[in-house]
Structure 1
Amino acid sequence: MSGDLPDYYFRIRENGAAVFKVDTENRQRRIELEEIAMVNVKNGNIKPHGDHKLSPEDSAAINGWLADRRKLLESREVDDILRAVDHLNLTAHWVQTRASEAQLDAVTDTLLLAMHDLRSVLVRKKAERLMKGDQAAE
């Protein structure tokens, strides 16, 4: 089993990960995790843990993980938005077919404000993109 383990383990946190070096080469043949760094996905900061000095291999593994994690989070973000579109459609169907007056009273104002806010932002961003396109064409 130890031959199948990666050299590094990344414990995901809300804004990045704690990085551990995986060690299976010890007398007890137990898996040991030595924390070597903290990574912030948003700003790319890598902070060695304690007095640990990151080797070039450590840095390469962390930077590779960081690039892969950013790609994954970006793809998940788009997928989450597409799921939100599906959920809006399901919500419209629920409103039209099953929602009671009390349920509608509980959600209508909040939904209308959220949809108005979203629509405003989408229209503004689309107008900005169209203006940039027009300026580039000139």
Structure 2
Amino acid sequence: MTGDLPEYYFRIRDNGALVFRLDTGNRQRRIEMEQIAAVNVRSGEVKPQGGRALTEADRAEIDRWIADRKALLEAREVDDILRTVDHMNLTTQWAQSQASADDLEMVTDALLLAMHDLRTVLVRKKADRLLKDA
């Protein structure tokens, strides 16, 4: 297993990751993880850890990871929205064919308010795009 390990490991956390340099070149052939930095994906901020300076290779790998992570999160965000559309359709089918009166009483106001809010934002954004294009 140790021959296939990358040089760096990124432990995902809210808004970023902790960056570790991996080392298997010790006598016990154990995997040692040395934390070298903390990364904030939103701001792009990289904080070296333990009073060390990052090498150019460290920084290049961290920058590559940040770019890849941002692209992944953007793709997931769009996928989440498309799943929401599917879920809305399933909710419609549930309300029409399976929901009891008590079930509907429990969810109707919350759904109507959320749908109204979403519709208002979508209509306003669509109008802004149409005016901009005109």
Aligned to 2:85: 85
Q: Secondary structure at the match of 2:12?
A: strand
Offset of residue 14 of structure 1? 1.4
Distance 2:53 2:59 in 1: 10
1:5-16 equivalences under 5 Å are: 5-16=5-16
Return the TM-score normalized by structure 1.
Answer: 0.95
**What is residue 42 of structure 2 aligned with on the other side?**
42
Q: For residues 105-136 of structure 1, give each alpha carbon's deviation from its aligned partner in whole angstroms, at most 9, with x where no partner exists.
A: 110000000000000010111111111111xx
Q: How many residue pairs were aligned?
A: 134
Q: Which residue of 1 aligns with 2:100?
A: 100
User: What percent identity do the matched residue pairs reach?
Assistant: 65
Is it true that 1:71 corresponds to 2:71 in the alignment? yes
Q: Is there any run of 5+ residues in structure 2 with no aligned partner, and where?
A: none
Runs of 4+ in structure 1 off by over 3 angstroms are none
RMSD across aligned C-alpha pairs, in angstroms? 0.6
Instruction: Give the TM-score normalised by structure 2.
Output: 0.98
Deviation at 1:3, TM superposition (A): 1.4
Which residue is 2:130 aligned to? 130
SS in structure 2 opposite 1:58? Answer: helix
- Structure-2 residue corresponding to 1:115: 115
SS at match of 1:12: strand
**1:27 alignment partner in structure 2:** 27
Where does structure 1 lack aligned partners over 5 or more consecutive residues? none
Cα distance in structure 2, aligned partners of 1:126 and 1:9:
42
